[in-house]
Amino acid sequence: MADIKARIAARAAKEFKDGFVANLGIGLPTLVANYLPEDVHIVIHSENGFTGLGSVANKGEEDYRVINAGGGWVTYMPFANFFGSEESFSIIRGGHLDATVLGAMQVDEEGNLANWIVPGKMVAGMGGAMDLVVGAKKVIIAMQHTQKGAPKILKTCTLPLTAQKCVDMIITEMCVMEFKPEGLTLTELHPDFTVEEVKAVTEADFIVADDLKAMEED
Protein backbone atom coordinates (compact mmCIF):
# COMPACT_ATOMS: atom_id res chain seq x y z
CA MET A 1 0.00 0.00 0.00
CA ALA A 2 2.77 2.44 0.97
CA ASP A 3 4.51 1.01 -2.05
CA ILE A 4 1.57 1.79 -4.30
CA LYS A 5 1.32 5.35 -3.06
CA ALA A 6 5.05 5.83 -3.59
CA ARG A 7 4.75 4.47 -7.12
CA ILE A 8 1.94 6.85 -8.02
CA ALA A 9 3.61 9.86 -6.41
CA ALA A 10 6.95 9.09 -8.07
CA ARG A 11 5.30 8.91 -11.49
CA ALA A 12 3.36 12.15 -10.90
CA ALA A 13 6.62 13.86 -9.95
CA LYS A 14 7.89 13.27 -13.49
CA GLU A 15 5.28 15.68 -14.81
CA PHE A 16 6.98 18.59 -13.08
CA LYS A 17 9.53 20.87 -14.68
CA ASP A 18 11.91 23.13 -12.83
CA GLY A 19 10.14 26.30 -11.73
CA PHE A 20 6.62 24.87 -11.92
CA VAL A 21 4.03 26.44 -9.66
CA ALA A 22 1.75 23.72 -8.35
CA ASN A 23 -0.89 22.90 -5.80
CA LEU A 24 -0.75 19.43 -4.27
CA GLY A 25 -3.85 18.00 -2.64
CA ILE A 26 -3.88 16.54 0.83
CA GLY A 27 -2.71 12.90 1.22
CA LEU A 28 -1.05 11.06 -1.64
CA PRO A 29 -0.59 14.17 -3.85
CA THR A 30 1.48 15.82 -1.12
CA LEU A 31 4.00 12.97 -1.42
CA VAL A 32 4.82 14.05 -4.98
CA ALA A 33 7.20 16.70 -3.65
CA ASN A 34 9.37 13.94 -2.17
CA TYR A 35 10.05 12.39 -5.57
CA LEU A 36 11.20 15.39 -7.60
CA PRO A 37 14.60 15.02 -9.27
CA GLU A 38 17.37 17.08 -7.69
CA ASP A 39 17.39 19.61 -10.50
CA VAL A 40 13.64 20.21 -10.37
CA HIS A 41 12.59 22.82 -7.83
CA ILE A 42 8.94 23.70 -7.72
CA VAL A 43 6.88 26.37 -6.02
CA ILE A 44 4.08 24.84 -4.00
CA HIS A 45 0.93 26.91 -3.68
CA SER A 46 -1.13 26.57 -0.52
CA GLU A 47 -4.68 27.73 -1.19
CA ASN A 48 -5.15 29.21 2.27
CA GLY A 49 -2.81 31.94 1.10
CA PHE A 50 0.77 31.48 0.03
CA THR A 51 3.25 30.33 -2.55
CA GLY A 52 6.37 28.57 -1.29
CA LEU A 53 4.93 25.93 1.01
CA GLY A 54 7.69 23.95 2.73
CA SER A 55 7.13 20.81 4.76
CA VAL A 56 5.41 19.80 7.98
CA ALA A 57 6.76 21.91 10.84
CA ASN A 58 8.78 20.11 13.49
CA LYS A 59 7.15 19.75 16.88
CA GLY A 60 8.07 22.78 18.95
CA GLU A 61 9.02 24.82 15.90
CA GLU A 62 5.51 25.66 14.71
CA ASP A 63 4.77 29.24 13.64
CA TYR A 64 1.20 30.01 14.69
CA ARG A 65 0.71 32.10 11.59
CA VAL A 66 1.66 29.37 9.11
CA ILE A 67 -0.73 26.53 8.35
CA ASN A 68 -1.48 24.61 5.17
CA ALA A 69 -4.94 24.12 3.71
CA GLY A 70 -5.49 21.10 5.95
CA GLY A 71 -4.86 23.17 9.08
CA GLY A 72 -1.47 21.58 9.80
CA TRP A 73 1.55 23.58 10.95
CA VAL A 74 3.99 23.88 8.09
CA THR A 75 7.17 25.68 7.06
CA TYR A 76 7.69 28.01 4.12
CA MET A 77 10.49 28.44 1.60
CA PRO A 78 12.74 31.55 1.49
CA PHE A 79 10.96 32.68 -1.71
CA ALA A 80 7.52 32.43 -0.10
CA ASN A 81 4.88 35.11 -0.45
CA PHE A 82 1.71 35.33 1.61
CA PHE A 83 -1.59 36.80 0.41
CA GLY A 84 -5.34 36.91 0.94
CA SER A 85 -7.88 34.37 -0.28
CA GLU A 86 -9.01 36.62 -3.13
CA GLU A 87 -5.43 36.63 -4.43
CA SER A 88 -4.85 32.95 -3.74
CA PHE A 89 -7.80 32.00 -5.91
CA SER A 90 -6.93 34.57 -8.55
CA ILE A 91 -3.67 32.65 -8.87
CA ILE A 92 -5.62 29.40 -9.13
CA ARG A 93 -8.47 30.47 -11.41
CA GLY A 94 -6.32 32.83 -13.46
CA GLY A 95 -4.17 30.04 -14.89
CA HIS A 96 -1.08 30.86 -12.83
CA LEU A 97 -0.66 27.27 -11.61
CA ASP A 98 1.22 24.98 -13.97
CA ALA A 99 -0.30 21.91 -12.39
CA THR A 100 -2.39 20.49 -9.61
CA VAL A 101 -2.35 16.93 -8.32
CA LEU A 102 -5.48 15.70 -6.60
CA GLY A 103 -7.15 12.47 -5.61
CA ALA A 104 -10.53 11.41 -6.99
CA MET A 105 -13.50 9.28 -6.16
CA GLN A 106 -14.51 9.02 -9.83
CA VAL A 107 -13.24 10.16 -13.22
CA ASP A 108 -15.11 9.46 -16.44
CA GLU A 109 -14.46 9.19 -20.17
CA GLU A 110 -15.25 12.87 -20.68
CA GLY A 111 -12.65 13.92 -18.13
CA ASN A 112 -15.36 14.80 -15.64
CA LEU A 113 -14.23 14.60 -12.03
CA ALA A 114 -16.06 13.71 -8.81
CA ASN A 115 -14.06 14.08 -5.62
CA TRP A 116 -15.99 16.18 -3.16
CA ILE A 117 -19.31 14.74 -2.09
CA VAL A 118 -21.09 11.44 -1.56
CA PRO A 119 -24.88 11.77 -1.33
CA GLY A 120 -26.15 10.54 2.00
CA LYS A 121 -22.80 11.01 3.72
CA MET A 122 -21.82 13.99 5.84
CA VAL A 123 -20.88 16.90 3.59
CA ALA A 124 -17.41 18.38 4.07
CA GLY A 125 -17.58 21.08 1.39
CA MET A 126 -15.58 21.62 -1.76
CA GLY A 127 -13.10 24.04 -0.24
CA GLY A 128 -10.68 24.98 -3.00
CA ALA A 129 -11.07 21.80 -5.09
CA MET A 130 -13.52 23.15 -7.67
CA ASP A 131 -11.39 26.21 -8.37
CA LEU A 132 -8.19 24.17 -8.59
CA VAL A 133 -9.40 21.74 -11.24
CA VAL A 134 -10.96 24.53 -13.31
CA GLY A 135 -7.96 26.84 -13.05
CA ALA A 136 -4.75 24.83 -13.10
CA LYS A 137 -3.13 24.40 -16.52
CA LYS A 138 -2.69 20.66 -15.97
CA VAL A 139 -4.96 18.59 -13.74
CA ILE A 140 -3.36 15.32 -12.66
CA ILE A 141 -5.45 12.80 -10.78
CA ALA A 142 -3.26 10.59 -8.61
CA MET A 143 -5.21 7.72 -7.11
CA GLN A 144 -5.53 4.00 -6.66
CA HIS A 145 -7.04 2.48 -9.76
CA THR A 146 -10.07 1.03 -7.96
CA GLN A 147 -11.99 1.48 -4.74
CA LYS A 148 -11.44 -2.00 -3.24
CA GLY A 149 -11.82 -3.53 -6.67
CA ALA A 150 -14.72 -1.34 -7.84
CA PRO A 151 -13.85 0.80 -10.88
CA LYS A 152 -13.30 4.51 -10.30
CA ILE A 153 -12.62 5.32 -13.96
CA LEU A 154 -16.14 5.19 -15.31
CA LYS A 155 -18.14 5.76 -18.47
CA THR A 156 -20.03 8.49 -16.64
CA CYS A 157 -19.50 9.75 -13.11
CA THR A 158 -22.39 8.79 -10.82
CA LEU A 159 -21.38 11.09 -7.97
CA PRO A 160 -21.95 14.85 -8.12
CA LEU A 161 -19.21 16.48 -10.18
CA THR A 162 -16.40 18.67 -8.95
CA ALA A 163 -15.97 20.00 -12.47
CA GLN A 164 -16.70 19.08 -16.06
CA LYS A 165 -14.04 17.92 -18.53
CA CYS A 166 -11.21 19.12 -16.36
CA VAL A 167 -8.91 16.11 -16.00
CA ASP A 168 -5.76 15.95 -18.16
CA MET A 169 -4.09 12.84 -16.77
CA ILE A 170 -4.79 9.92 -14.43
CA ILE A 171 -1.95 8.18 -12.63
CA THR A 172 -2.68 4.94 -10.76
CA GLU A 173 -0.59 2.01 -9.54
CA MET A 174 -1.48 0.20 -12.80
CA CYS A 175 -1.04 2.79 -15.48
CA VAL A 176 -1.06 6.32 -16.82
CA MET A 177 -4.01 7.53 -18.85
CA GLU A 178 -4.26 10.84 -20.67
CA PHE A 179 -7.20 12.76 -22.10
CA LYS A 180 -6.27 13.39 -25.73
CA PRO A 181 -8.35 14.90 -28.54
CA GLU A 182 -9.16 11.35 -29.71
CA GLY A 183 -10.27 10.31 -26.23
CA LEU A 184 -9.06 8.72 -23.01
CA THR A 185 -5.78 7.00 -23.85
CA LEU A 186 -3.66 4.46 -21.99
CA THR A 187 -0.14 5.84 -22.47
CA GLU A 188 1.88 3.91 -19.90
CA LEU A 189 1.41 0.49 -18.35
CA HIS A 190 3.14 -0.72 -15.21
CA PRO A 191 5.15 -3.91 -15.87
CA ASP A 192 3.14 -5.76 -13.18
CA PHE A 193 -0.05 -5.46 -15.24
CA THR A 194 -1.45 -6.26 -18.69
CA VAL A 195 -3.79 -4.14 -20.77
CA GLU A 196 -6.46 -6.76 -20.17
CA GLU A 197 -6.04 -6.43 -16.42
CA VAL A 198 -6.46 -2.66 -16.69
CA LYS A 199 -9.57 -3.10 -18.86
CA ALA A 200 -11.05 -5.49 -16.32
CA VAL A 201 -11.06 -2.83 -13.59
CA THR A 202 -11.80 0.20 -15.79
CA GLU A 203 -15.40 0.86 -16.73
CA ALA A 204 -14.52 3.66 -19.15
CA ASP A 205 -13.61 2.81 -22.70
CA PHE A 206 -10.06 3.82 -23.51
CA ILE A 207 -7.67 3.78 -26.42
CA VAL A 208 -4.33 2.01 -26.08
CA ALA A 209 -1.60 4.33 -27.35
CA ASP A 210 0.33 3.08 -30.37
CA ASP A 211 3.50 3.92 -28.50
CA LEU A 212 2.40 2.47 -25.15
CA LYS A 213 5.29 2.81 -22.73
CA ALA A 214 6.30 1.06 -19.55
CA MET A 215 5.38 3.02 -16.42
CA GLU A 216 8.75 3.24 -14.79
CA GLU A 217 9.07 3.20 -11.04
CA ASP A 218 11.94 5.63 -11.08
Partner 1 sequence: MKNKIVTAAEAVAGIKDGDTIMVSGFLGTGSPEILLDALVEKGVKHLTLIANDGGLRAEFTGTTDKGVAKLITAGMVDHIIASHIGMNPDIGNGALAGTMKYTLYPQGTLAEKIRAAGAGLGGVLTPTGVGTIVAEGKETLTIEGKEYLLELPLHADFALCRADYCDTFGNFAMLKATKNFNHVMAMAADTVLLASEQVFEIGEKDPDFYQVAGVYIDYIVKGEQPWQI
Question: Applying CB under 8 A, which of residues 27, 34, 37, 94 lies at the interface with partner 1?
Answer: 94
Subset of 18-57 contacting partner 1 (CB under 8 A): 18-19, 21, 41, 43, 45-52
Active-site option among 15, 38, 47, 173:
47
Is 106 buried (19+), middle (13-18) or exposed (0-12) by CB count in 10 A? buried
* Nearer to partner 1 (CB atom), residue 8 or residue 179: 179
Q: What is the C-alpha to C-alpha distance for residues 96 and 181, in angstroms, rounded to an integer?
A: 24
Count residues binding partner 1 (CB under 8 A): 61
Positions in 122-181 near partner 1 (CB under 8 A): 122-131, 134-135, 160-164
- The one-character DSSP state at 127 is T
Strand-pair category, 183-189 with 175-180: antiparallel
Annotation says 47 is catalytic: yes
Phi-psi group of 205: left, alpha or beta (phi > 0 → left; psi -120 to 50 → alpha; rest → beta): beta
Kindly provide the b/e burial profile for residues 38-70, where b requires at least 16 CB atoms within 10 angstroms of the residue's own CB: eeeebbbbbbbbbbbbbeebeeeeeeeebbbbe
193 counts as binding partner 1 under rule CB under 8 A: no
- Binders of partner 1 in range 53-72 (CB under 8 A): 62-67, 69, 71
The CA-based angle 151-152-156, given to 5 degrees, is 100
Q: Interacting stretch for partner 1, rule CB under 8 A, among 82-90, 142-150, 170-178, 194-202?
A: 82-90
Q: Which of 81, 147, 158, 194 binds partner 1 (CB under 8 A)?
A: 81
The site for partner 1 (CB under 8 A) is made up of 18-19, 21, 41, 43, 45-52, 62-67, 69, 71, 73, 76, 78-96, 112, 117, 122-131, 134-135, 160-164
